[in-house]
Homo-oligomer: A and B are copies of this chain.
Amino acid sequence: MGQIMTRLMAEKGVDIVGAIGRSANIGKDLGEVAGLGYPLNVLVEREEDRVLETRAADIAVVAVGSYMADMLPHFRRCLENGLNVITLAEEAVYPWKTAPSIAAELDRLAKAHGVTITASGGQDVFWVNLPTMLSGASHTIRSISGFVLWNINDFGPEVAKSAYVGWGKRDLEEHLKSHPLPPSFGKNAIQEVAADLGLTMTRVEEVNTLETADVDLECASLGVTVKSGDVIGRSELVTIETKEGIQLSMREGGRLYKDGESDVVEWTIDGYPALHLRCDRVPTQIMCCTQMVNRIPDVIASSPGYITVDQLPKLKFRAAALHHYLST
Interface residues of A (CB under 8 A from B): 8, 11-12, 124-126, 129-130, 132-139, 141, 196-199, 244, 246, 272-283, 286-287, 290-291, 293-295, 314-317, 319-320
Contact = CB atoms under 8 A, between A and B. Distances in A.
14 contacts: A126-B137, A129-B133, A130-B277, A132-B317, A137-B291, A139-B294, A141-B319, A197-B316, A246-B319, A273-B286, A273-B290, A275-B282, A276-B281, A278-B278
Of A124, A136, A287, A294, most B-chain CB atoms within 10 Å:
A136
A324 B130 CA distance: 24
Given A130-B133, A132-B314, A196-B316, 9 more contacts: A133-B314, A137-B287, A139-B294, A272-B290, A273-B287, A274-B281, A275-B283, A275-B287, A277-B277
B280 A276 contact: yes
Secondary structure call for the A interface = mixed
A273 B286 CA distance: 7
Contacts of A129: 133, 136, 314
Contact of A133 (B12, B196, B315, B320): B315
A210 B7 CA distance: 46
Nearest to A132: B316
A291 B136 contact: yes
A125 B314 CA distance: 12
A277 B279 contact: yes
Nearest to A288: B137
B139 A11 contact: yes
Contact of A319 (B244, B290, B315): B244
B141 A317 contact: yes
B125 A133 contact: yes
Given A274-B283, A278-B278, A314-B132, A125 B137 contact: yes
A13 B276 CA distance: 27
A197 B134 CA distance: 19
Of A137, A141, A196, A286, most B-chain CB atoms within 10 Å:
A137
Contacts of A8: 139
Contacts of A317: 132, 135-136, 138, 141, 197
Contacts of A11: 139
A274 B284 CA distance: 11
Given A129-B314, A198-B319, A319-B197, A136 B275 contact: no
A313 to B, nearest CB: 8
